[in-house]
Structure 1
């Protein structure tokens, strides 16, 4: 089945270059020149992936991502300038699945997009055997890509769900950021520790909204592990670095 990508950037040259690369890779391509047009396009027909520039006039990519996350879980890949690390981190915390820094190679953007879609497909089609992971009040249905706290669903993005699943599949073990990056993207993928920390902060915020305060523990200078998941405050471990 042909996958559809929505390319959102106010620069017509960037839209043209990316459209050519994605078309060559077998995608059906739609484009939007601003955030409002992008939201209207998504509302009319949901794409498989949104490639979204952060810096746009009228409505920037961060606000577009915030609104997309308020209504669904379509994967989002950010395009980011080199000098706005804060915006990149904020984008991840808003629920973006990955980002590419400008200037970029169109082939890299397509490769990152394919990686996001493969992760999404694996999450949705996980084998039924051993599909349920549970600890305390937390339950993960890897077959249905669903995270629940006391039976109430906590909406996670693909990357967030895969991080929680990786920790739940290794109870008691502390996983380093590099190990978690391997779980998300595969060995050797170029991504910063801060991106992992941003995902973790986002996961903690979402679970805290469900009165879950001990899902992930931090071990300073080492990494993360699954917490006791009994809902207690203050049992999440030291939180430096994430």
Structure 2
């Protein structure tokens, strides 16, 4: 990886042996890395340093991973992969609900974690619109920019995760089209992973909450009973 474009991954993991091994795998893949072992260290470190992606353990001394994810999401859209020995579906969805882009259960393959990091960076750098279209498009009250991976409503920037951007961007470019949950999963997770219909429901719930902070008089993403979802452009 070119040193000028080298990405920095912050690993927050209290199991020091695992953190060290993961750091070695990430550096072999071309990433710069830094490790923290206590949740209390994370926000101060991010205030002073630049990271391009965060691997965040759920169970940490000090501030736990869920609280940290929620705090970071209040001011940053940095990609976050949450890792935990908690493996139930509800616990995975809690991680996604707080703003994580991906979730990997322990014990995990170090090669798979690096693959997830690679995939998340590919999604963040991908141009989701056809090349003959403008990078910045106005769609009703929404303004979508494929280069900055950002969406505004009425001039207000939505604080979206990468997965939320990918999902909302796709729906905005296909208004009034009803999509099943499986179809939406294929759009937001192009790489193989274990996900369920409830994963889409969680992302939709987060999008609705963020949009309704700006557009309160009309529901934008509609549930179609027994099928899935469609987006209705607000008037």
Same fold (TM over 0.5): yes
Number of equivalences: 230
- Taking the TM superposition and a 5 Å limit, the aligned residue runs for 1:72-91 are 72-91=76-95
CA shift for structure 1 position 151:
2.2
- Determine which of 226, 229, 235 is the counterpart of 1:221: 226
Distance 2:108 2:88 in 1: 15
Please show how residues 85-164 of structure 1 align to structure 2 within 5 Å: 85-122=89-126, 127=131, 129-164=133-168
Greater shift in the superposed pair: 95-104 or 188-197: 188-197
Aligned counterparts of 1:105 and 1:142: Cα–Cα separation in 2: 32
Contact 2:10 2:34 in 1 (8 A): yes
Query: For the Cα contact (< 8 Å) 1:115–1:185, is it kept in 2?
Result: no
Q: Matches of 2:43 and 2:88 in 1, distance apart?
A: 23
The Cα shift of 1:84 comes to 4.6
Give the Cα–Cα distance (whole angstroms) in 2 for the partners of residues 123 and 194 of structure 1: 27
Match for residue 237 of structure 1?
Answer: none
User: What's the counterpart of residue 202 of structure 1?
Assistant: 206
Do the aligned partners of residues 20 and 187 (structure 1) sit closer, same or farther apart at CA in structure 2, a change above 3 Å counting? closer
Task: Give the structure-1-normalised TM-score.
Answer: 0.86
- Name the counterpart of 1:45: 49
**Where in structure 2 are there 5+ consecutive unaligned residues?**
none
Structure 1: runs of 5 or more not aligned: 231-242
What is the deviation of 1:215? 1.8
SS state of the match for residue 179, structure 2?
coil
Tell me, what secondary structure is at the counterpart of 2:74?
A: helix
Aligned partners of 1:12 and 1:33 also within 8 Å: yes
1:163 Cα shift?
0.1
- Structural RMSD (CA): 2.2
Q: Say whether 1:180 aligns with 2:184.
A: yes
